[in-house]
């Protein structure tokens, strides 16, 4: 039983991962709001550990695949080697006892498509299941694939999408639109005191006063960090007088494609100008240094990093790839970001240089994004709306 929520649990939250990524971070914000603003008794199950494992443990989470689980490490290794049937037996040993103990919880919230396989270990019963979907095509293929979806999706009673593109994807997969609610991700308002900018620059090896162009995300195909290196090359070649530096926050950096990025940076003569800082616990300290934030993603349903930098007043330039176009449409005029054609790195470089040359436009673009995000995408707005959807499925939540 979660220490913070005495009584028979009315809600079970299942998070696929404790990694520092969008879906787990949104769920942590929701759990904090739930504990702060309600008396709902809830349980938390974390399927895999990560950098934020201890944050989930603050809610009494049962971590069944954390840093200390040898069974999880063995299962993961066997799966990677192709022994999927044996890995499935180990998954059953890990997950079924934990889910059996929670079989009577009347409402289950699965916090990503990656959490969907947990249903096969949950005994059948009189419960409602909600799936919060943060993934598009690549995310579906990477985490579960079509066979798992076809087998388990019919057990879901209601779907929550993080954006309009995700809703379209679900409808395309045969989900009745009447069973889908859209709830954008949300963040807590920036509150911590930022570290002095000069000291952060010094720690990154960046000289004082030079402009910084930033980006954030895993170093994978979806986030396209190699296009960020190409962007850095274009801006530096066109306007060497700007002396701009480029910072990518996120990893991993010690495996492919992290090492490939280093190869490209060195080959383009950008060593010392493009900085790969990996995973950090206080990203706002670095985000606050950016003159421009770029989204080079090939697909991004509604990126949390976009909200985090916008809340700091940092202007955004993005490919037309999903979430940012939704943000711009909702914000109206003045625009909350500059959107360039999909994968047009030349157009992105032009937009970045224009903003670096025009501090007034830069400030206006950042302010429009900040005002919109702080009014519509913070926890005290988004969490109650998500809770209201859940309360429709389990009316006993509402009085709490």
Structure confidence by residue, pLDDT tens digits, 116-164: 988 988 888 789 999 999 998 888 888 888 888 999 999 999 999 999 9
Residue 21's pLDDT is what? Answer: 84
In a shared domain, residues 253 and 154: no
Name the pTM for this structure: 0.89
In a shared domain, residues 128 and 250: no
In a shared domain, residues 255 and 355: yes
Structural domain contains residue 4: no
In a shared domain, residues 225 and 177: no
In a shared domain, residues 148 and 235: no
Structural domain contains residue 2: no
In a shared domain, residues 209 and 139: no
In a shared domain, residues 172 and 209: no
Structural domain contains residue 62: yes
CA separation, residue 264 to residues 226, 258, 261 (Å): 8, 10, 5
Structural domain contains residue 5: no
Query: Could you tell me how many helices (H) and strands (E) the chain has, helices first?
Result: 16, 13
Residue 81's pLDDT is what? Answer: 67
DSSP H helices in the chain:
22-37, 53-57, 70-80, 84-100, 137-143, 145-152, 164-172, 197-204, 225-238, 258-267, 283-287, 304-311, 323-331, 345-357, 359-376, 379-393
Residue 77's pLDDT is what? Answer: 60
In a shared domain, residues 141 and 270: no
Residue 262's pLDDT is what? Answer: 87
Sign of CA dihedral 305, 311, 317, 320: positive
Structural domain contains residue 116: yes
Residue 350, burial from CB neighbour count under 10 angstroms (0-12, 13-18, 19+): middle
* Nearby residues of 338 by Cβ (< 8 Å), 6 or more positions away: 315, 316, 317, 318, 351, 355, 365
Strand partners, 109: 13, 130
CATH of the domain at 210: 3.40.50.2000
In a shared domain, residues 161 and 208: no
Residues of the chain with pLDDT under 70: 1-6, 65-94, 255-259
Residue 187's pLDDT is what? Answer: 95
Residue 279's pLDDT is what? Answer: 86
In a shared domain, residues 273 and 180: no
In a shared domain, residues 99 and 139: yes
**What are the φ and ψ backbone dihedral angles of 267, each rounded to 5 degrees?**
-65, -30
Quote the number of domains for the chain: 2
Structural domain contains residue 1: no
In a shared domain, residues 325 and 352: yes
Query: Residue 132 belongs to what domain range?
Result: 11-186+379-397
* CA angle 371–372–378, rounded 5-degree value: 95
Residue 48's pLDDT is what? Answer: 81
């Amino acid at each position: 039983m979660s220490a913070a929520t005495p009584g028979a649990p009315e809600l079970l939250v299942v998070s696929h991962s404790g990694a520092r990524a969008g879906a787990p971070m949104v769920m942590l914000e929701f759990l904090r709001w739930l504990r702060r603003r309600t008396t709902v008794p809830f349980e938390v199950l974390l399927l895999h550990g990560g950098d934020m494992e201890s944050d989930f443990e603050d809610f009494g989470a049962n971590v069944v695949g954390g840093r200390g689980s040898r069974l999880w490490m063995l299962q993961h290794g066997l799966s990677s080697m192709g022994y999927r049937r044996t890995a499935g037996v180990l998954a059953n040993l890990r997950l079924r006892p934990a889910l059996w103990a929670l079989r009577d919880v009347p409402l289950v919230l699965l916090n990503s498509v990656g959490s969907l396989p947990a249903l096969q270990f949950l005994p059948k019963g009189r419960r409602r299941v909600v799936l919060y979907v943060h993934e598009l095509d690549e995310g579906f293929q990477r985490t579960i694939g079509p066979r798992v979806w076809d087998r388990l999706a019919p057990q879901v009673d209601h779907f929550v999408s993080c954006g309009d593109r995700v809703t379209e994807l679900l409808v395309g997969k045969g989900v009745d639109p009447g069973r889908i609610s859209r709830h954008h991700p949300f963040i807590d308002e920036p509150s911590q005191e930022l570290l002095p900018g000069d000291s952060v620059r010094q720690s990154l090896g960046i000289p004082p006063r030079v402009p910084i162009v930033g980006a954030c995300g895993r170093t994978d195909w979806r986030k396209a960090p190699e296009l960020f290196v190409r962007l850095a090359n274009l801006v530096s070649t066109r306007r060497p007088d700007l002396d701009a530096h480029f910072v990518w926050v996120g990893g991993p950096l010690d495996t492919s494609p992290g090492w490939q990025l280093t190869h490209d940076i060195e080959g383009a003569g950008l060593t010392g100008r493009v900085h790969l800082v990996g995973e950090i616990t206080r990203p706002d300290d670095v985000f606050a240094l950016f003159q421009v934030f770029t989204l080079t993603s090939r697909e991004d349903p509604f990126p949390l990093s976009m909200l985090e930098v916008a809340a700091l007043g940092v202007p955004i330039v993005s490919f037309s790839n999903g979430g940012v176009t939704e943000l711009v449409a909702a914000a109206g005029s003045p625009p909350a970001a500059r959107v360039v054609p999909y994968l047009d790195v030349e157009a992105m470089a032009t937009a970045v240089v224009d903003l670096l040359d025009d501090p007034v436009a830069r400030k206006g673009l950042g302010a429009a994004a900040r005002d919109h995000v702080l009014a519509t995408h913070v926890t005290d707005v988004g969490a109650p709306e998500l809770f209201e959807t859940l309360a429709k499925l389990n009316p006993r939540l509402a009085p709490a």
